[in-house]
Structure 1
Amino acid sequence: MAVRVLSIDAAGIDLAGVALSRLEASLRKQAGDPDACVADFFDLAAGSGAGGVPSALLFTRGHDGRPLLSIAKALRQLA
């Protein structure tokens, strides 16, 4: 079984935010699910330095098991 890992570098939250927004939009389109979040497509997330913050925000799940935040909502939390 393959494990899908998302690694977010600390190079800059702005740059990571743009890349993650595009990734999430592409994944939503491919899945045909407008409510899909990045965390729905990865098994594990890691981040170095500041990259750890969006990793934690994106992969925190609610009581229903769904990710609490989309990338857009996570970036608003960081602003």
Structure 2
Amino acid sequence: MSDFAFLRFLTNGLLTEEERNDKETIIMLTEEVLHAQGMECDATIAKISESQLKEILEKVRQLRKKRKAQQADSTEILQQHYG
């Protein structure tokens, strides 16, 4: 489903180079955001405005940033204990 959302992000020029290269993560997080908002079909994504699309992408970016920070923290803890 979120392949279509990713395509909308892409065609509207909303994605950074890094985000374009991390397609699978962006799709996975987009699915989480859309599910949390009760949007579960491509037809809904096709009809939302560009401003709503930007809001969704902003939430995806927040989740992505949070997960990267959590991964960095986990890596640091492992290095302290085993490095």
Same fold (TM over 0.5): no
TM-score, scaled relative to structure 1: 0.29
TM-score, scaled relative to structure 2: 0.28
Higher strand share: 1
